[in-house]
Chain A
Amino acid sequence: MNFAARIAFLALRFLLGIVLIVAGTGKISDPAAFATAIDHFQILPTILIPAAALTLPFLEIALGGMLITGWRLRCAAFSTVILLGIYTTAVSAAVARHLQLECDCFGPAISAPHVLLRDVALLAAASVLYGWTRLRARP
């Protein structure tokens, strides 16, 4: 990997890592509010909502930490693709069904199409990162 590619790779890791940590920290303090936010997507059965509300913030912070430190990087990049894939699917379904979303997942509340656009961009970044880690691992 040449110098420019190395910098781009690091930038991608840090960008995704910081976004995940910021997002996870925002949700961690108030699981009840996050549970209500998940509920508004009308995707998960009620019985699974508390478990999801308790798991996702820690998962985001853990993956963010792994991306930044580089520990098990390929696995972290893959997991980030899955996580963002789930979020993007959830937001797309909500946009398609014209649901009112009450989720200020990354700071101030923004409209659902904007959330979708942001999630697609993050998913693309994570996919590039995962592809990169797979290429790098190839002998």
Chain B
Amino acid sequence: MSFFRSPIVSDLIGFVVVAGLSLALGVTVNCFRSAPLSLLSYQGPIDNPADGSSPEITLPNLQKMVGQPGVAIIDARPWDFFALGHIPGAINLPLSNLQAPGAAVSFPPSLVKATLIIVYCSDVSCPAAKTTARLLEKSGYRHVVVFPGGWYAWKKAGLPIGYAS
């Protein structure tokens, strides 16, 4: 039993105990957060562009996110484009509505509980997704990402399409 009495081994055991208690505390506190970090469905990094604009998400990562709890997808295109087809589960939030003169910026209440907000518009050339993402960030929403490929990239990849009911 002298092995366990050696200072380095007892210090190592102490480290494992403190780390284990920290994990237990971390997981417990996480359960009570308004937007808890998912232990099992964490989907990997979100690519941060260096120019300070909103982070971007790639198509493979976006595919994994569709339908996940806590993920909100925003279609920033006008309503008629949205009605013709969109990423399944997306909410239509046309940028024109947000920027209408005198309009108070108001976002759907469902976004409050979202742990990740993904915004897209038509394709890489449209600025609506980036502008909407900036407005969301200004309004205090965190973890807002842009899918730069937009509807064009989604449709081109032959992925499932959602239609307005």
Residues of A within 8 A of B (CB): 30-33, 35-36, 39-40, 46-47, 49-51, 53-59, 62-63, 66, 72, 74-76, 78-79, 82, 100, 102, 134, 137
Contact = CB atoms under 8 A, between A and B. Distances in A.
B14 A75 contact: yes
A22 B82 CA distance: 46
Nearest to A55: B23
Nearest to A74: B11
Nearest to A75: B14
Interface residues of B, number: 34
Contacts of B12: 78
Contact of B39 (A39, A51, A58): A51
A23 to B, nearest CB: 14
Q: Which of A30, A58, A62 has the most CB of B within 10 A?
A: A58
Interface of B: 7-8, 10-12, 14-15, 18-19, 21-23, 25-27, 29-30, 33, 35, 37-40, 42-46, 48, 50, 115-116, 142-143
Given A53-B37, A75-B14, A79-B14, A36 B46 contact: yes
